[in-house]
Amino acid sequence: MLVSRLSRIGVQTVKQLARGMCTSLCRTGFLQTPYSQCRQPWFELHTDPKAFQGTLFQKHYLFSTTASGSDIGDGSEGKEMISVTFVDKDGEEKHIKVPIGMSMLEAAHEHDIELEGACEGSLACSTCHVIVMDVECYNKLEDPTDEENDMLDLAFGLTETSRLGCQVIAKPELDGIRLAIPAATRNFAVDGFEGGSAHDNI
Ligand code: FES
């Protein structure tokens, strides 16, 4: 009985398809004719171009990232900074902000301060010689390595609080440090001892 009823429904369906009355099959398997509605028109919704575009837009919105103000620029934004003052041989002061972790040599160069740095921080010269003007600040620095001391021994106008600028790294405790740039540098290590000379920084 059931079998014959099902086969009758199948025959009717084939006939409707043949007559063009069925326009589509919905996802649930129900036939959609001009006179009936799919109970769950899920498939049609997701093939609608507008709905699809909406889905794409939503995905894009969810996964896109927008750079915040602190992410844009030269990379120093958002980092903790300390105040540093360089004093040149004429007593002229230049106040700058230096990000934590940056050497005083790099900071000087970024701000067009005339601190030579002939070996670019590889401890092979003494041209980045600076004098820490405040003993308290000097005592907060890491002790100089033997290599730094060797180069400092060659520096022009060595003092008790002399350091190499490329070895002084900004850290919070050094906020407010004042560094004097000697009137001259001596570049024995880079130029060779024979040809080494002392010259004005200007
Ligand atoms: Fe040469 Fe600092 S730049 S030792």
Rounded to the nearest integer, the mean pLDDT of the chain is 71
Q: Are 141 and 174 in contact (CB under 8 A)?
A: yes
pLDDT band for position 183 (50/70/90)? confident
The amino acid at residue 79 is K
**Overall pTM > 0.75:** no
Which residues neighbour 111 within 8 Å (Cβ) at sequence distance 6 or greater? Answer: 94, 96
The tokens for 139 are 């005592």
Q: Are 129 and 164 in contact (CB under 8 A)?
A: yes
Q: Over the Cα atoms of the chain, what is R_g?
A: 38
Instruction: Output the CA 172–ligand 1 centroid distance in Å.
Output: 23
Mutate to test the pocket of ligand 1, among 102, 103, 128 (most ligand atoms within 8 A of CB): 128
- pLDDT for position 81: 97
Ligand 1 atom with minimal separation from the 151 CA: 4
Residues with a CB atom less than 6 Å from ligand 1: 105, 117-121, 123-125, 127-128, 151, 164, 166
Superfamily the domain 81-180 falls into:
Beta-grasp domain (3.10.20.30)
Tens digit of pLDDT for each residue in 32-87?
A: 444 433 333 333 334 444 433 433 333 333 333 333 333 334 555 667 999 999 99
HSE, side-chain direction, 13 A CA sphere, residue 197: 4
pLDDT band for position 93 (50/70/90)? very high
User: How do 31-32 and 81-87 pair as beta strands?
Assistant: unpaired
When comparing pLDDT for 125 and 24, which is higher? Answer: 125
Q: What is the DSSP letter of 37?
A: -
- pLDDT for position 185: 73
Domain ranges, ordered by start, for the chain: 81-180
Tens digit of pLDDT for each residue in 120-172?
A: 999 999 999 999 999 999 999 999 999 999 999 999 899 999 999 999 999 99
